[in-house]
């Protein structure tokens, strides 16, 4: 009887695992981000997951968690280091991990995506990515958050002086705070998940984000004025915790990295399309849209470049090189 029972149990186990690569052997990778449905973060993460899951079917499954379900950007980075989250797509918050990421916080540094491609190739991968690994984080690819614009409920912003006294939510990165302090605003770092309520209740007067973030978070419902400042182009980064990532099989890591980089083309195309489509939607939703005096903003930005170069001396040659690459 015992022999029959053992044979039956073995047969049951075999039957459960005869499928290509037993389901129990499939590795689930959690990818967290702060984007709302319809945001560029969500579209990017889902497209990456779809491609990876198609290539590694039965071996690895990437599952995305948006809307800060797994935490804000700072929490996600800590969870990557702890190994409780596998992948994340942060942006500005990386300046809190490594000062050199601040070059992407300098106003009007990145002229366009072609310029960004040169910076990525000649500065990011040779210099910034290796320094990031020293912090226990592995960068798989450079993606996009987008060109940021200012919204508020007080009045149109045309020159930096118009920001005087405006309570402005900014991401959790010190250089964005310094930028808007220089412009005369009253900036405060805040999690993106808390932003809508802060604007709705008047805790904050305004904020700054790409169109995709503004629209997907429905900020047009609680903001009246949209000023097309385009003051910063913010990359996003697909990153993993180095320690846990190293435990994945080499062939899986290669597929993840290759797919992460190839997904960038889809992200850039989507971002370019959204810039036109979403601006039209924001206007239709009733936002009052105005151009800004970019020369005035650029002039007001010089002290930020000087302070950054002084505080992060190692970044000075990178700033000079990045500027030269845009000429």
Q: Is residue 271 part of a domain?
A: yes
Structural domains of the chain, count: 1
- Residue 173 has what pLDDT? 85
Helix (H, G, I), strand (E, B) or coil at 85: coil
Q: Is residue 43 part of a domain?
A: yes
- Give which of 265, 325, 314 is closest to 130, Cα–Cα: 314
- Residue 10 has what pLDDT? 45
User: Residue 127 belongs to what domain range?
Assistant: 14-325
- Residue 25 has what pLDDT? 61
Q: Are the C-beta atoms of 260 and 144 separated by less than 8 Å? A: no
Using CA atoms, how far apart are residues 302 and 41, in angstroms rounded to an integer?
31
Q: Are the C-beta atoms of 202 and 169 separated by less than 8 Å? A: no
* Mean pLDDT, residues 36-51: 97
Helix (H, G, I), strand (E, B) or coil at 154: coil
Confidence band (pLDDT; 50, 70, 90) for 24?
A: very low
Q: Is residue 49 part of a domain?
A: yes
At 314, list the tokens.
């190692």
User: Given a cut of 60, is residue 1 above it in pLDDT?
Assistant: no
**Among the ranges given (1-10, 110-119, 128-137, 171-180), the one the predictor scored with the smallest mean pLDDT:** 1-10
Q: Is residue 6 part of a domain?
A: no
- Residue 26 has what pLDDT? 83
Q: Is residue 127 part of a domain?
A: yes
At 12, list the tokens.
């049951």
* Mean pLDDT, residues 239-257: 98
* Mean pLDDT, residues 139-146: 97
Q: What is the pLDDT of residues 157-186, one digit of tens each?
A: 999 999 999 999 999 888 999 999 999 999
Percentage with pLDDT > 90 across the chain:
91
Q: What is the pLDDT of residues 79-98, one digit of tens each?
A: 999 999 999 999 999 999 99
194 vs 11, residue with greater confidence: 194
Confidence band (pLDDT; 50, 70, 90) for 14?
A: very low
User: Given a cut of 60, is residue 198 above it in pLDDT?
Assistant: yes
Q: Is residue 9 part of a domain?
A: no
Q: Is residue 269 part of a domain?
A: yes
- Residue 19 has what pLDDT? 39
User: Given a cut of 90, is residue 194 above it in pLDDT?
Assistant: yes
HEC profile for 298-318?
HHHHHHHHHHHHHHCHHHHHH
- Residue 12 has what pLDDT? 45
Task: Report the CATH number at residue 164.
Answer: 3.40.190.170
At 34, list the tokens.
């702060």
Q: Are the C-beta atoms of 62 and 26 separated by less than 8 Å? A: no
Angle made by CA atoms 295, 231, 126, in degrees to the nearest 5: 115
User: Given a cut of 80, is residue 22 above it in pLDDT?
Assistant: no
Q: Are strands 149-152 and 206-209 parallel, antiparallel or unpaired?
A: antiparallel
* Mean pLDDT, residues 66-73: 96
- Give which of 39, 38, 95, 90 is closest to 236, Cα–Cα: 90
Q: Is residue 196 part of a domain?
A: yes
């Amino acid at each position: 009887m015992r022999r029959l029972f053992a044979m039956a149990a073995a047969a049951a186990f075999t039957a459960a695992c005869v499928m290509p690569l037993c389901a129990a052997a499939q590795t689930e990778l959690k990818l967290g981000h702060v984007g709302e449905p319809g945001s560029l973060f969500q579209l990017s993460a889902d497209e990456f997951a779809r491609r990876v899951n198609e290539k590694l079917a039965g071996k690895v499954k990437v599952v995305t968690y948006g809307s800060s379900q797994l935490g804000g950007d700072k929490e996600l980075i800590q969870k990557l280091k702890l190994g409780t989250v596998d992948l994340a797509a942060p942006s500005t918050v990386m300046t809190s991990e490594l000062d050199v990421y601040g070059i992407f916080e300098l106003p009007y540094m990145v002229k366009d995506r072609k310029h960004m491609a040169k910076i990525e190739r000649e500065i990011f991968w040779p210099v910034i990515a290796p320094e990031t690994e020293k912090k226990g984080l592995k960068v798989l690819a450079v993606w996009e958050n987008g060109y940021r614009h200012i919204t508020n409920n007080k009045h149109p912003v045309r020159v930096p002086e118009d920001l005087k006294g405006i309570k402005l939510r900014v991401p959790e990165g010190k250089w964005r705070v310094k930028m808007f302090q220089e412009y005369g605003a009253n900036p405060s770092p805040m999690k993106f998940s808390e932003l809508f309520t802060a604007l709705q209740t008047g805790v904050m007067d305004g904020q700054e984000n790409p169109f995709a973030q503004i629209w997907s978070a429905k900020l047009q419902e609680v903001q009246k004025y949209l000023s097309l400042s385009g003051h910063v182009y913010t990359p996003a980064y697909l990153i993993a915790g180095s320690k846990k990532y190293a435990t994945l099989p080499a062939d899986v890591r290669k597929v993840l990295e290759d797919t992460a980089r190839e997904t960038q083309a889809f992200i850039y195309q989507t971002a370019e399309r959204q810039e036109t489509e979403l601006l039209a939607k924001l206007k239709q939703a009733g936002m009052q849209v105005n151009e800004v005096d970019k020369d005035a903003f650029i002039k007001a930005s010089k002290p930020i470049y000087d302070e950054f170069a002084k505080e992060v001396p190692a970044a000075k040659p990178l700033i000079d090189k990045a500027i030269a690459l845009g000429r």
